Amino acid sequence: MSYSSKIISDTVDAFSSLPSIGKKSAMRLALHLAGDSFQKKEKLIQALQQLVNDLQICSECFSYSDTPICSICSNPTRDRGLICVVENIRDLIAIEDTGSYKGLYHVLGGVISPLEGIGPEDLEINTLVQRIQENNCNELVMALSPTIDGETTIFYINRLLKDVPLKITTIARGVSFGGDLEYADEFTLGRSIQSRLPYSQRQMS
């Protein structure tokens, strides 16, 4: 695209290097910001500068944090005996948003994937084992994606911890709320029947 200004063209390039933003959307964003208030531009610049200079990785759960230990790990009201293992920070936010989990997290940074050359040593698995041994952890909730790689990772961690007195659980797989049974895939529906619960346990606690 042709711009009368190199500054606009640079801004369009910078935006269009982000995921899911094409040239046209990047142009709309650049022209919007160019015409918008000074405050809005400054707010975005400040946020990005903090991202560069101040963002840290929590040394306990490996989520993003403003301090050496994140606000979840340092929250005294959270159940420290419960650790939920997630693949990435997006999954952590999704679970946190449900409001139904009050334990801690552990961000693996991916799942074991022989095809993509990701082995256990590339993930935060050793730090997880160490964390479980050092703290008094009662239960490990595996909240990984229901894929072959996810299942492999759960199996690997399960075997690694077989001698540790610890309950290992996985999040329930089944038919979604509001979903039609006839449109659920066979595998999910099959699992859903195998993992059937007594009606009294079905109520949400």
Site stretch for a copy of itself (CB under 8 A), options 84-92, 140-148, 153-161, 174-182: 84-92
Q: How far is the CB of 176 from a copy of itself (least distance, A)?
A: 18
CB neighbour class for 170 (10 Å; exposed up to 12, middle 13-18, buried from 19): middle
Rounded Cα distance between 202 and 182, Å, is 21
Site for a copy of itself in 51-80 (CB under 8 A): 51-52, 54-55, 58, 61, 63-66, 70-72
Question: Do 11 and 28 contact (CB within 8 A), yes or no?
Answer: no
Q: Hey, which residues does 56 pair with through a beta bridge?
A: 65
Give the residue carrying structure tokens 């008094």: 136
DSSP 88: S
Q: Does 87 bind a copy of itself (CB under 8 A)?
A: no
Location of structure tokens 């990701």: 118
Smallest distance from a copy of itself to CB 191, Å: 27
Decide: is 168 part of the binding site for a copy of itself (CB under 8 A).
no
Question: With respect to a copy of itself, which residue has the nearer C-beta, 40 or 173?
Answer: 40
Closer of 78 and 191 to a copy of itself (Cβ): 78
* E-strand stretches of the chain: 56-57, 64-65, 79-86, 103-107, 139-142, 167-170
Residues that bind a copy of itself (CB under 8 A): 1-8, 10-11, 13-15, 17-21, 25, 27-34, 38, 40-52, 54-55, 58, 61, 63-66, 70-72, 89-90, 92-93, 96-97
